[in-house]
Structure 1
C-alpha cells in the first residue's frame, strides 16, 4: 500500500523551530535506534552517522550535517545554478501541494548554509520526507516490491565497497524518492552505511536511475551476498 508518514513542516512558524524539531526527530529515529534490512533470520544493520554539525542561517543551534543535507537543495537542483545558467528545464513540475514554502527555491534561491563549497537552501518539501527512509525500509522488510540497485564491486587492498540505491516511486504523492547507501564488508558480515536520501526531481537523474536499475537491479536477498 502506498502510504507513508510525512513530517508536518506546516506546523512551524519559524525556520528555527522547524529545523530544531526536524533535527530532534532525525536523532530519535535514525541515531538512537537500530534500523536493519531483514531476510528471514539474517539482518544487515544500516549505520546512520550524524556527521559533523553545521550552522544554518536563522537557526539558533547547529544541526546535524547529515540531516541538513537531506533536508535541503543546492543551486543545481533549483531554477538557477551557481553559474547563473538556468536548470529549470531539467526539473520535473513541482508536486509540493502540502508544504508551505517561505521562499520560492526556483526563482529566489536563498543560501542557508555551505557544504563542501556548495550553497544549500533548507527545503520544507524534502524535510517532510524525514520518516520515509525508515518507512521504505519497513516496506522492503515486509517483502513489498521496491526497486533496489547495486553498483559494481570496488575492491582492492582489503577494501570491499558497493553502492546500494533504493528507488521508491509513490503514486499517491506523485514523487520518486531515492535512498543511497554504502555496502561494506566487515569480516564475513556486511554493513550498510547511510549516505543520503531525497526526492528525485531532475529528469536527467531519473533517466540515469532507470538505466542503472536495468543493469544493476537485485532482489533483497542479494544484499546478503558479495
Structure 2
C-alpha cells in the first residue's frame, strides 16, 4: 500500500484502450469479479450482473468510463496526472471507441488506473477502517428509473477519495431480508462539489 493506504494508481502505458482494459480486467476478475473470489461486504453477499461485452463485465466497463458531462470545457479528471499524457478521448464521447459509444460513455484512464481499489476498499470496510464511511439512501436508479435503496462505501484519506455503490436487493417474499448487494459502479471522486455533496448525504443519512 503506497497511496494514502491504497495501492498506487497505475501508470498505464500508451496503447489500445481495450487491451489495457482487458489486462486490468483479468487482475480484478481474480480479486472481485469472479464469484468464487468475490468478498462479502460486512457479511452481505455481493452480486455482479453477468452481462459480458467483449469478454468483460458491463459493470466493469461502466466503472472505467464516464458519461460525457462536458468536463473538457472546464477541467479534466486526469489533469496533472500521468494518465492525461496518454488520454485520447479527453472525456468526449465522440472520441470513444465503438464499444464505449454503445454504452454512451467514454473510456477513462484515470478511472482505469484506480479500478484495483475496489477489493482494497471493501477489505477496509470489513475491518471498520477509520477512513471508511458507509451509508444507504433511496434514489432513482439511472438504468431503469425505479426507486431503490443504495449502499455506498467511501474511502477518503488524503488525495485518495473513492466510492463504491451498490443497489440493495431484497427477498421477494420477505422484504426485510437482504439477499445481495448489486454492484453498480465504483470510481474516484474528483469534483470538489461531488465530495461536498457526499459528505452532506452521509451526515443526513446517518443522523439518528
> If the length of structure 1 is used for normalisation, what is the TM-score?
0.70
Partner of 1:209: 198
Partner of 1:15: 17
Q: SS state of the match for residue 41, structure 2?
A: strand
Asked if 1 retains the 8 angstrom alpha-carbon contact of 2:136 and 2:151, the reply is yes
Alignment root-mean-square deviation, CA: 3.2
In the TM superposition, what is the alpha-carbon distance from 1:63 to its structure 2 partner?
3.2
Q: SS state of the match for residue 103, structure 1?
A: coil
Which is richer in strand? Answer: 1
Distance 2:133 2:102 in 1: 29
**Residue 153 to residue 180, structure 1, CA distance change in 2 (3 Å):** closer
Distance 1:127 1:153 in 2: 26
In the TM superposition, what is the alpha-carbon distance from 1:107 to its structure 2 partner?
8.1
**Is structure 2 residue 86 aligned with structure 1 residue 101?**
yes
**Structure 1 stretches of 5 or more lacking a match?**
54-60, 80-85, 155-159, 219-226
Asked if 2 retains the 8 angstrom alpha-carbon contact of 1:30 and 1:48, the reply is no
Asked if 1 retains the 8 angstrom alpha-carbon contact of 2:89 and 2:96, the reply is no
Residue by residue over 1:154-176, the C-alpha shift from the partner in whole angstroms, topping out at 9 and shown as x without a partner, is 9xxxxx941111122131xx142
Q: Which residue of 142, 160, 170 corresponds with 2:157? A: 170
* Number of aligned residue pairs: 191
Q: Could you say which structure has the larger radius of gyration?
A: 1
**Structure 2 stretches of 5 or more lacking a match?**
141-146
**Residue 103 to residue 166, structure 1, CA distance change in 2 (3 Å):** same
In the TM superposition, what is the alpha-carbon distance from 1:180 to its structure 2 partner?
0.6
